[in-house]
Amino acid sequence: HFDYEVGTTTEGQAAKDIDCPQLCYKLNRLLPRDISIREIIPVAQDMHARFSAVARTYHYYIHTGKMPFERHYSYQMPYALDFDAMREGCELLKRQTDFAAFCKAGADNKSTCCTVTEARWVKTSPETWYFEITANRFLRNMVRAVVGTLVDLGRHKITLEQFRHIVEAGRRSDAGESMPGHALFLERVEYPFTNDTNN
């Protein structure tokens, strides 16, 4: 988000509000190719892009075979995975409130409590999957640590009961390794606004 002040015209009158489509067009002409602005929307003065959000959704992408065109955006999984077991693990996550087990050691968090409303594995082709998780907030490194621990469950390195214990005990040292960051994407951020620019 950004703040702006309405200027005045040469006649001393208040200038009109920003032409959002035109500003969007001009910014996209200036920005590098890997950044794109899709829309600019006026919001309330107290709106904050980070702190006003009520939900965030992340996707973590994996593929099971060698796929050259996916290598920058998805993690190649060299192991066979039991996705049924991993789905059971996802159901446990939705019943948990404290995610200290998946918080980066030494992180400065006032609370490790999060409300997870969605956690699931989605198959998009015979060789591609993504993990989707939605919560009101996330801890530093949380999603990659969750995926790493679910992968341990899917490889049968731990049982479902051990997974439950890891989640409930809240010790980062018990959980799995964090997965590489290149396959993690912030997919969606939700705000308590309607399309009304006054909300």
Amino acid in the structure at residue 66: K
Instruction: Look up the pTM and report it.
Output: 0.85
- Residues contacting 2, CB < 8 A, separation 6+: none
Q: Supply the mean pLDDT for the chain.
A: 90
Task: Provide mean pLDDT across the span 104-115.
Answer: 81
Question: Higher confidence at residue 42 or residue 138?
Answer: 138
Pick left, alpha or beta for residue 22 (phi over 0 → left; psi -120 to 50 → alpha; otherwise beta).
Answer: alpha
- Please check whether residue 133 is in contact with residue 99, taking contact to mean a CB–CB distance below 8 angstroms: no
Q: If pLDDT is split at 50, 70 and 90, which confidence band does 195 have?
A: very low
d(CA 124, CA 144): 20
Q: If pLDDT is split at 50, 70 and 90, which confidence band does 11 have?
A: low
Query: DSSP secondary-structure letter at 113?
Result: B
49-58, 93-102, 116-125, 189-198: the lowest-pLDDT one: 189-198
pLDDT for 10: 62
Is the pLDDT score of 196 beyond 60? no
pLDDT for 86: 97
Does residue 166 sit in helix, strand or coil?
Answer: helix
- % of the chain beyond a pLDDT of 70: 89
Is the pLDDT score of 151 beyond 50? yes
DSSP string, 107-169: ---S--B--EEEEEEEEEETTEEEEEEEES---TTHHHHHHHHHHHHHTTSS-HHHHHHHHHH
Closest CA to 149 of 158, 161, 141, 139: 158
pLDDT for 3: 84
Is the pLDDT score of 38 beyond 80? yes
Question: Higher confidence at residue 109 or residue 148?
Answer: 148
